[in-house]
Amino acid sequence: MKNVVNDLKKAFNTGVSYMMPATVAGGIFLAIALATGQAGKEGMVVNNPFFQNLLTIGSAGFAMMIPMLAGYISYSLAGKPGLVPGMIVGYIANQPIGPEKVQTGFLGAMILGIIAGYIARYIKKWKVKSELKAIMPILVVPILTTGVVALLYMYVLVGPLGFIMKVLVTTLKSLQGGNALILGLIIGLMTAFDMGGPINKTASAFTLALMAEGIYGPNGAFRIAVAVPPLALAISTIVSRKKYDEADKDLGKAALVMGLIGITEGAIPFAVKDLKRVIPAIMIGSAVGAGLGMLHGVNCYVPHGGLIVLPAVTGKLWFFIDMMIGVAVSVVLLHFLKPNLEPNIKKATK
């Protein structure tokens, strides 16, 4: 059982890691294009022909996320023979299936990626004649795995998974006031806990899945939260200078840039050096920022964070204010939690 759990953790992290470059690349093009659009109930509307082309590029990257997620989950479990079946069934999970046109999105893709990986791994172990060994990984394993998993989904799993997605979407759409605040707090805590690690990626995958269902509030909260840790550490090196050495202050400059473009990992060097003080401070700040974002109904239409995506956000002022409040909370906590560095004592020379 322990091996299965470890396999699934590794598979999920692999899937999200390989998916994220497509997400970021697509998200940047989307952000640039949407910066010229107008916000409405259906999202941002882009009218300029050139920026519509950029929107097409960004949309292509965004559309690849779900197939890549399932494909690389399967790849982690079965190697190369599992990659294509995972991508195909991941693509199917994001398409309308059956009379009710059910789409299961990220949830379906993750589950189908796992199933495809285990089935491909099982078929790989078949003992076959030497003449067939050469075609097993490029023909037999992909075809059998794809056919079995896709048909299993279409005829058995699509109904239950579709029902789960419907309940999830309905529940999240109904969140108001205090309930929305709690969801935002949880997203913020998960975001800052490991700064790009599996818990952060779980929060990211959750918000991206909701985006595919037309729910953009949790993504807005997450995109606030990702910027808080690096921005807070950058500002802390300026306002609490006695608590950082010169190397830290140089890292603070890099963290500032990374925070502005929504890269949480900019805070990692600080956390590594002072885990017990930095992690709680940035977790609380991110939670406050994300919670306020949910409370104020901030929506982000692109899968990226930081102030760079401000044009693709509704509630722009609240997005900025809530982020700055989260940053301020972390800066204050860092100021009181971190001790001043001891002055350098020069060794006496003879």
Q: What is the DSSP string of 272-325?
A: HHSHHHHHHHHHHHHHHHHHHHHHTT-EE-SS--SGGGGGGEESHHHHHHHHHH
- SS3 state of residue 349: coil
Give the start-to-end residue ranges of the domains of the chain: 2-173, 177-337
* pTM for the structure as a whole: 0.66
Within 10 angstroms of residue 49's Cβ, the number of other Cβ atoms is 7
DSSP assignment letter at 103: -
Q: Is 156 exposed, middle or buried (0-12, 13-18, 19+ CB in 10 A)?
A: exposed
pLDDT in tens, 248-267: 888 888 888 888 888 887 88
Phi, psi of 125 (to 5 degrees): -85, -5
- Residue partners of 116: CB distance under 8 A and separation at least 6: 70, 73, 74, 78, 82, 85, 86, 89, 145, 146, 149
pLDDT at 348 over 50: no
* Averaged pLDDT of the chain: 85
Task: Give the whole-angstrom CA distance, residue 114 versus residue 293.
Answer: 33
Relative to beta strand 299-300, strand 43-45 is unpaired
The region, left, alpha or beta by phi > 0 then psi within -120 to 50, assigned to residue 127 is beta
pLDDT at 34 over 50: yes
Q: What is the model's pLDDT at position 298?
A: 95
Q: Token pair of 89, please?
A: 């069934």
pLDDT in tens, 262-288: 888 788 888 878 888 999 999 999 999
Within 10 angstroms of residue 285's Cβ, the number of other Cβ atoms is 28
Task: Give the whole-angstrom CA distance, residue 192 versus residue 221.
Answer: 12
Give the dihedral of Cα atoms 148, 150, 156, 161; nearest 10 deg: 140
pLDDT at 338 over 90: yes
Task: Give the whole-angstrom CA distance, residue 258 versus residue 83.
Answer: 32
What share of the chain in percent tops pLDDT 90? 41
Task: Give the whole-angstrom CA distance, residue 68 versus residue 221.
Answer: 24
Task: Give the whole-angstrom CA distance, residue 186 versus residue 222.
Answer: 10
Q: What is the model's pLDDT at position 100?
A: 77
Please give the average per-residue pLDDT across 102-109, as a whole number. Answer: 79
Please answer whether residues 218 and 207 qualify as being in contact, where contact means their C-beta atoms are separated by less than 8 angstroms: yes
Task: Give the whole-angstrom CA distance, residue 73 versus residue 148.
Answer: 17
The region, left, alpha or beta by phi > 0 then psi within -120 to 50, assigned to residue 135 is alpha
Q: Is 290 exposed, middle or buried (0-12, 13-18, 19+ CB in 10 A)?
A: buried
Please answer whether residues 86 and 71 qualify as being in contact, where contact means their C-beta atoms are separated by less than 8 angstroms: yes
pLDDT in tens, 48-63: 899 989 989 988 887 8
DSSP assignment letter at 346: P
Phi, psi of 131 (to 5 degrees): -65, -25
